[in-house]
Amino acid sequence: MKINAAKGTRDILPEETAIWQEVERIFADTCELFQYGELRLPTFEHTEIFQRGVGDTTDIVQKEMYTFDDKAGRSLTLRPEGTAGAVRAFIENGMASRPFPVKLYYILNLFRYENVQKGRYREFHQLGLEAFGSAPPELYAEIIALLQQIFDRLGLKNTSLRLNSLGTADSRADYTLVLKDYYKPHLSGLCRDCQSRYEANPLRLLDCKVEHDQAIAADAPLMFDHLNAEDRAHFDRVCELLEAWDISYVIDKRIVRGLDYYSRTVFEFVSDNVGTQGTICGGGRYDGLVQALGGSSVPACGFALGQERLMLEMQAQGIVPDPKKKPGLYIASLDKAALDYASDLAIQLRRQGTPAAFDLVGRSLKAQMKYAGKSAYAYSMVLGSDEIAANKARLRRLSDGSENDVDLNDLDGIQALIARGE
Ligand code: HAM
């Protein structure tokens, strides 16, 4: 019986991978430009990292994690996001003793048990970064500039940057009282989740997906209107820098983010093209997380770009990256001796960096030529006893059939013709 990929997961085939690699290359290249180094993280962590990191009362931790016990009875979880693991790695590897800011980027597959729909999968990918050790707003504004540069390099237009501030723990504590006062008369009508959120984590009330509760959330007082002077000054400076760098934004006081670790400025990039899940990228400051996970008090911020959603958006905007493939040569052979010669030639050309292939499935000459025409090779040549005896062959450009005589001993000459596209 045929078994398909698990729900919410998918295969990425080579023709698509080329575009994925191009997007990843632009992301990594831009991160390097801003002096970020790549962090590679384990696929699973101790469950507690996410419970303490992302927050016990978030949907991610309560409903969406792939958690299992290993054979020794440890509770482990497939990473549902990258930040908590990055913070764990930052602490565990003593990175707090490196010169600040410590700048890390990552390309990860992640796992969340979600309702599958367009732009929302159970295994998905993020291009993300985290920067540690800088409290002033400049680094924060810089990560938004980095993201904008990625969008510009990809040719992405009309994505809307939305900013909000969630305040620090102190200002949030005062606001929480105001929020609870507002919700009190509505409490009995709220969904069960919200009833427990009311005590455990009132800010999450604003993030409820139930229609009735969303209507109540719509009129709720907002954190942004209750920021203290310091939080507000921090936020205003981020805005000032973005304006100075010509990065447009709107203030969206309703952003709460789905993870608990944020403080002060948070942001999302949204678009109408990626289904109901319009958020392509989310990020913010999380000044308390390093300490909450057992490290010293180190301010930090970061973002993660959903790779599938980014690529849906690119598709909707008609952006098809064109990863340049090196032109290569298919060497057809007439008989066994020519096949030996062709294989040797292909091996040598590849050693020198030119893509090359010979017959690997015992095709007739006609079938070999048909295959070459359909393949990604830009050139072909046919080898038989005459060519081998004379050390000469005809190099054929498949796009238009034009031909050049080449000396089979002159590998450099053959490669130069191919590289020049002649
Ligand atoms: P997040 O908002 O949960 O933030 O996810 C970031 C992005 O990942 C989303 O904007 C979306 O594009 C993508 N994403 C999330 N869930 C799915 C899914 N089920 N299917 C497809 N794409 C999805 C975080 O994960 C934070 N760690 C971001 C961050 C880094 N904050 C600070 N540093």
* 278: Cβ contacts below 8 Å, ≥ 6 apart: 270, 271, 272
Residue 162 Cβ inside 6 Å of ligand 1? The answer reads no
H/E element, 371:
helix 365-374
- Taking the C-alpha atoms of residue 207 and residue 214, their distance in angstroms, rounded to an integer, is 8
Task: Quote the pTM value.
Answer: 0.93
State whether the beta carbon of 82 lies less than 6 angstroms from ligand 1: yes
Minimum CA distance residue for ligand 1 atom 20: 120
In short, whether 86's Cβ falls inside 6 Å of ligand 1 is: no
Q: Are residues 372 and 332 in contact, defined by beta-carbon separation less than 8 angstroms?
A: yes
* Token pair of 196 as six digits: 């427990």
| Geometric angle at alpha carbon 21, from 399 and 27, rounded to 5° | 130
> What pLDDT does 321 receive?
85
Give the burial class of 412: count Cβ atoms within 10 A of its Cβ; 0-12 exposed, 13-18 middle, 19 or more buried.
exposed
User: Which residue among 259, 262, 267 has the greatest number of ligand 1 atoms within 8 angstroms of its CB, and so is best to mutate?
Assistant: 259
Number of other CB atoms surrounding residue 224 within 10 Å: 20
- Decide: 247 and 152 in contact? Cβ < 8 Å: no
Q: Please state, in angstroms and rounded to a whole number, the distance separating the CA atoms of residues 328 and 349.
A: 9
Centre of ligand 1 from the C-alpha of residue 210, in Å: 21
| Distance from Cα 134 to the centre of ligand 1, integer Å | 23
Task: Check residue 158 and give its pLDDT.
Answer: 81
From the alpha carbon of 268, which atom of ligand 1 is closest? 10
Candidates 252, 274, 281; CA nearest to 265 is 252
Inter-axis angle of helices 411-420 and 336-351, nearest 10:
70
- pLDDT for residue 276: 61
Centroid of ligand 1 to alpha carbon of 324 (angstroms): 30
Low-confidence ranges of the chain (pLDDT < 70): 275-277
With beta carbons less than 8 A apart as the criterion, state whether 21 and 107 touch.
no
User: Which residue, among 44, 121, 167, has the nearest Cα to 312 in the 3D structure?
Assistant: 121
